[in-house]
Structure 1
Amino acid sequence: MKTPAARRIGPGRARRGVLPLTAVLTAASLVSCTAGEVSPPQPSAAATTPAAEASTFTFGTAADPRTLDPALANDTESYRVSQQIMEGLVGVDPLTSEPTPLLAEAWEEQDDGRTYEFTLRDDVVFHDGLPFDAQAVCANFDRWYQLPAAARAGASRLPFENVFKAFSDRPEATLYEGCTATAEHTVDLHLRKRITGLIPALAAPAFAISSPAALRSGAADELSETRDGMAISRYGLAPVGTGPFSLVSWTPGAVDLAAFPRYWGERGEIQKVAFTTIPNPDSRARALTSGRIDGYDFVSVDSAVDLARNGLQFLQRDPYSVLYLGMNQAFPGVDDPLFRQAVAHAIDKDALIDGRFLNGTKPARQFVPEKLGVSNDTVADYGYDLDLAKELLEESGYDGRELPFYYPRNVSRAYLPSPEKAYAELSRQLTEAGFNIKPVPVEWSDGYVAAVQKPGDRAFHLLGWSGSYEDPDNFVGALFGSRNDEFGYDDPQLFSKINRARGLPNGEDRTTAYASISSQIAGRIPAVPLAFPISALAMSARVTSYPVSPVMREVFNRIDLADAEPLPDPSD
């Protein structure tokens, strides 16, 4: 089926997505917090761009990006920046989150889902001035497929592997067959088997198209540089795409972008974007209240009422992430199902959520969000039962040894706005049930994700998953589709079921298959799903429209500012 060409949305589009925080507080009954006026923050060297500049949008981020090469990223802050600079073949509808044309004007499924023909736009150039064409698209797909193991070492769960199952060093497992440029602006993508969620998956920021010349000159697959202790390529420091903004500079604590004058699409009103890193959510709130920034993400419960008191604005996303308690079955005793059942019954999810997450956050019984329509009727419900947890723990033979519990510090995520507070409550609950918890706090910026996704002396850890496209495989496939060191979990039967389900056509059979997968995961308990959190942004009064998205596909040329004018069209 061929999709229609993209519709061009001009400056007269409806202004939506921003509500006064006071109205949202009334409607959603957010938990109150300590009253008090917000004091102005101390000047920070990271914030060098004044938020009041008419065509500049300054955004407070919770962490520095790990890399600006989206193919090697797996974190929100890297994607938040890279999706301003780079675009993929497929976009996301801001209202429905359905796939829409972007660099590809249309696509057609052929050969029973084993080939996709993409018709590309013919009016696009990269930021280095080189044309975007079919050869560039295939160069990117082939680069992702052929990523050397050394380039992948710094990250886990790279999206190419999640979607296509393997890289070129495992040819027997991959679903990627090849890419052919059949004409200057026509591409055929070949698969070994159907991937039902392929088109939604290609809208994820990881599948953005880079300039092949910049990939070569930046030695994109050689991690020869370091940034905050993380290995990164020269290209990862200076990416080149086709997006509405190009990179000006990336220094510790700050990323600056400028509008690309030859952008093919709607240029919008923003001439400059300034990202400034403010890890603490209360500090981000103070920076917004004082006018140092125009907006920030991951509003905490503690900040919400003060933001309302100061007349600021609030944007709420539909829940599309899951928070979980991970368990490492390679740690002695954790491999016992009775031990894991004891953990599940020891957790009072309602008590965990109360006062620590925005109202509307729901306890989770499975890892697939409600939005995807996968029933949880057959999923085991490990309700809070302290007495049963103690009985199961005793039956498991647990000997009282210390259980290292890793949790992140100084970060906010869509699934975890205040990690220290969530850890404290979980630790209290588990200790009450008889578990001997040893806290292991790790700074997020010191490689927390890598620390909990590799072998180590770890019993528990706190983490989550934010969906980047609408398909249940984006959750269960990414988390449990193959053996990984995060959970020390190996279940070939489950892996086979996930591989089969991902190729089923959309419909009842596929939905039923994912319901069965969710039920099996619940029965084996490799991790305990805790909550589907509500995440929210806060904006200053000068922001009259912001492209809020459940999958965080929020590109800033679609922001409207009260005091800015549309940028000139270079064709005029």
Structure 2
Amino acid sequence: MSSHTPQQVSRRAVLSGSFAALMLGLTGCTDITPEPAPVSGSPTGAIPPRKLKFAAAAPALSLDPAAAGDNDSFRVTRQIYETLVSIDPQTGGPMAGLAESWTESEDGLRYTFALRRGVRFHDGTEFNAQAVVANFERWLNLSAEQRENGLQGFYQVFHHLSDVPELPEDNQSAQAPQTNPSETNEKLEATLAQQESQLQAMRIQFESELFTGDSQGGSASYFESVEAPDEFTVQLNLRRRLTGVIEAFTLPGLAIASPASLSGGSAEQPVPPLNELPVGTGPYRFVEHQDNLLRLELNESYWNTARVTNNPQHPERIEISSISRAQNRQTALLSGDIDAFDMVSVDILRTLVRNARMVVNRDPFSVLYLGLHHGAAWLDNPTFRRAIAHAVDKGRLSRELFINGTKSAQGILPSTFGVENPDNVIFYSPDEAKKLLELIGYDGSPIDFAYPRNVARNYMALPERTFALIAEDLAAVGIKVNPVPMDWIEGQYLQKVRSEGFKGLHLLGFSGAYRNEDDFISGVLSAKQYEFGYTSPLLDAQILTARSIPVGEERTAAYRSILTTLTHDLPLVPLVFPISALALDAAVTFYPSSPVLDEVFLDIKLERNTHLTG
């Protein structure tokens, strides 16, 4: 991940048009703390708490970080909970969080964390090693539904229920699409030769003991155990080296909850689940969640007093609501009903600029893709999938539907990882798509195409229009689609395409949460047998092998081979690496934008309090 040093809003504003418009946008953006003034109408002249009213594009689906999988939920839980390791806003690397320091054994199988002292959860419970162990024990025993809903937590990091893949025999690694052009055939032959060479090397490696120690989960689980040698020391034991595990502890799904909130209480008054009453160590406490409004207030006993005092302009109260339509979010901002909103779409950007509102970019760290279910008619044909990949004009998508700076994607890894695209990349070529369709005798049968509606994600601000452009591209080469719009709310869309295995085309994306290639690869493919109707022992073996390779050229080459396999098999077509953005009212003079969405509201600066009641 590239450095994502927080910038003053005035330096990161995305402003279109003339220099005059730019100067309008800069008006009022200053880092000078204003002198507080008495509020008229108050009998005592007391200044009400600084309040931030924030509008998301969708409601939080869960306040239990271990069972959450959407960024709107994590936006909230990042304010309430904290993790053992934090993200350095200057470098994007790991820094001390609830753990002050850590050490790694020479073989990479043991990590020892020295915990921070003097920290208490919002319920008064002391943070210590036993609290950390209690959270691990809870993660190990999550229900099937909680595991399914959680997408950035224990099971994703440690691959706890995975088994060692059984390597395919010779010539069973993949099915090669049959095409006419000699150049394409040469590339396919080279790909197959590379796969066979990798298989031979991995067969030798897989004959040895890949993992050590007993597993509480699958045979390919990296987690062995966790223990507390003393009150403020935690030791994590692994079954195999896991490169980037320290960075993984920054994930919101590995946030530490109060052990008293995980169990206990009487039969008459059991402890409420975290989804109803979240209890962490973070800078804000949960107040209530009613209808479409979620309220938080400053944790007056927050352990990081320096962080509080260093920003005297921080919000003291927070209200988060959801407004699904971008135009409605814009209207609420311009009318003063909210102070900020996420998911600025390109079609409202100019209006915001003309009204002197700030638009703050995030560096791209997500990918939008087109899913291709291998169990659907025609999509089960590799040549047909290849025709689709040739038919989609990714450049037009990025130009017309995304904020300037969005790049076309040839693989699912952003360029920040430095992994070059494989040699078998499929470029936009309608003529080639038509040739392939003619070759296989495509009869024009329509393909179901699912897309979400009434939502905006940081990888897809305009899903309906994204569908429309892709459908146009497919129609131009003769591929007919049957539109299948689905509501996003309450996880309906995700459930349909990821768990139930919608058989057709679908739009979805993935947001990276920490700087590790496996986060993207395993995140996108975590439900590949359902979402794409796709299984590949070769790919599974490639991914397992790559996870343990230290950072360097060998690791980069391993992930390039993974991209080669994905391009060959085509369970999905990567589309763009989008830039997402937020809009701010003049009262917000600083927002800690982050490509991995590690945006703690305690670091926001409010110039003045625009909400004088409530």
Matched, 1:24 2:8: no
Pairing partner for 2:155 from 152, 161, 186:
161
Letter in 2 for 1:257: L
Conserved 8 A contact 1:94-1:548: no
Q: Which residue of 1 aligns with 2:31?
A: none
Distance 1:456 1:477 in 2: 18
Letter in 1 for 2:589: T
Matched, 1:181 2:248: no
Q: Which residue of 1 aligns with 2:171?
A: none
Matched, 1:202 2:241: no
Distance 1:483 1:138 in 2: 31
User: Residues 146-167 of structure 1: CA distance to partner in whole angstroms, max 9, x if unpaired?
Assistant: 22324334x2645322211124
Letter in 2 for 1:276: S
Q: Which residue of 1 aligns with 2:286?
A: 247
Matched, 1:437 2:481: yes
1:68-107 maps to which residues of 2 (within 5 A)? 68-107=63-102
Matched, 1:278 2:323: yes
Distance 2:322 2:526 in 1: 33
The 3 A distance-change label for structure 1 pair 379 and 526 is farther
Matched, 1:142 2:187: no
SS of residue matched to 2:101: strand
The 3 A distance-change label for structure 1 pair 156 and 521 is farther
Q: CA deviation at 1:387?
A: 2.0
Q: CA deviation at 1:563?
A: 2.0
Equivalences, count: 517
The 3 A distance-change label for structure 1 pair 150 and 350 is closer
1:374-393 maps to which residues of 2 (within 5 A)? 374-376=419-421, 378-393=422-437
Q: Which residue of 1 aligns with 2:185?
A: none
Conserved 8 A contact 2:64-2:278: yes
Distance 1:326 1:178 in 2: 36
The 3 A distance-change label for structure 1 pair 464 and 212 is same
Q: Which residue of 2 aligns with 1:61?
A: 56
Q: CA deviation at 1:25?
A: 2.6
Distance 1:82 1:23 in 2: 28
Q: Which residue of 1 aligns with 2:469?
A: 425
The 3 A distance-change label for structure 1 pair 518 and 15 is closer
Distance 1:420 1:403 in 2: 17
Conserved 8 A contact 1:209-1:241: yes
Q: CA deviation at 1:341?
A: 0.2
Distance 2:265 2:382 in 1: 48
Conserved 8 A contact 1:415-1:465: yes
Question: Which TM-score applies when normalising by structure 2?
Answer: 0.80
Q: Which residue of 2 aligns with 1:484?
A: 529
Conserved 8 A contact 1:372-1:472: yes
Distance 1:314 1:83 in 2: 22
Q: Which residue of 1 aligns with 2:575?
A: 530
Q: Which residue of 2 aligns with 1:407?
A: 451
User: Residues 316-354 of structure 1: CA distance to partner in whole angstroms, max 9, x if unpaired?
Assistant: 111000000001111122121101100000101111222
Q: CA deviation at 1:560?
A: 1.1
Distance 2:482 2:8 in 1: 43
Q: Which residue of 1 aligns with 2:167?
A: none
Q: Which residue of 2 aligns with 1:347?
A: 392
Q: Which residue of 1 aligns with 2:299?
A: 260
Computing the radius of gyration from Cα coordinates, the structure with the larger value is 2
- Please say which of residues 320-329 and 541-550 is displaced more in the overlay: 541-550
Conserved 8 A contact 2:157-2:248: yes
Q: CA deviation at 1:170?
A: 3.5
Which 5+ residue runs of structure 2 have no aligned equivalent?
Answer: 22-46, 162-214
The 3 A distance-change label for structure 1 pair 407 and 53 is farther
SS of residue matched to 2:479: coil
Distance 1:150 1:15 in 2: 37
SS of residue matched to 2:86: strand
Distance 1:189 1:26 in 2: 54
User: Residues 516-566 of structure 1: CA distance to partner in whole angstroms, max 9, x if unpaired?
Assistant: 21122112111000000111111111111111111000000011111269x
SS of residue matched to 1:354: helix
- Please say which of residues 540-549 and 459-468 is displaced more in the overlay: 540-549
The 3 A distance-change label for structure 1 pair 291 and 54 is farther
Letter in 2 for 1:413: R
Q: CA deviation at 1:392?
A: 1.2
SS of residue matched to 1:505: coil
Distance 1:511 1:537 in 2: 33
Distance 2:90 2:16 in 1: 22
The 3 A distance-change label for structure 1 pair 536 and 260 is same
Q: CA deviation at 1:60?
A: 0.7
User: Residues 25-81 of structure 1: CA distance to partner in whole angstroms, max 9, x if unpaired?
Assistant: 3599x9xxxxxxxxxxxxxxxxxxxxx965101111000111000101111101000
The 3 A distance-change label for structure 1 pair 440 and 365 is same
Conserved 8 A contact 1:135-1:181: yes
Q: CA deviation at 1:398?
A: 3.3
Matched, 1:303 2:348: yes
Letter in 1 for 2:10: L
Distance 2:606 2:523 in 1: 37
Which 5+ residue runs of structure 1 have no aligned equivalent?
Answer: 1-13, 31-51, 225-232, 566-572
Letter in 1 for 2:160: A
Conserved 8 A contact 1:325-1:463: yes
Distance 1:403 1:449 in 2: 19
Distance 1:365 1:502 in 2: 22
Pairing partner for 1:193 from 240, 247, 257:
240
Q: CA deviation at 1:252?
A: 2.5
Distance 1:320 1:329 in 2: 27
Q: Which residue of 1 aligns with 2:174?
A: none
User: Residues 369-412 of structure 1: CA distance to partner in whole angstroms, max 9, x if unpaired?
Assistant: 01111122x24332221121122123334333331111000111
Q: CA deviation at 1:143?
A: 1.5
Q: CA deviation at 1:217?
A: 4.5
Distance 1:218 1:351 in 2: 57
Conserved 8 A contact 2:591-2:603: yes
SS of residue matched to 1:262: coil
Conserved 8 A contact 1:60-1:278: yes
Identity level (%): 42
Pairing partner for 1:108 from 103, 118, 131:
103
The 3 A distance-change label for structure 1 pair 345 and 206 is same
Q: CA deviation at 1:355?
A: 2.0
Distance 1:552 1:482 in 2: 23
Distance 1:27 1:59 in 2: 29
- Please say which of residues 517-526 and 486-495 is displaced more in the overlay: 517-526
Distance 1:105 1:82 in 2: 21
Conserved 8 A contact 1:327-1:527: yes
Conserved 8 A contact 1:95-1:549: no
Conserved 8 A contact 1:403-1:458: no
Q: Which residue of 1 aligns with 2:204?
A: none
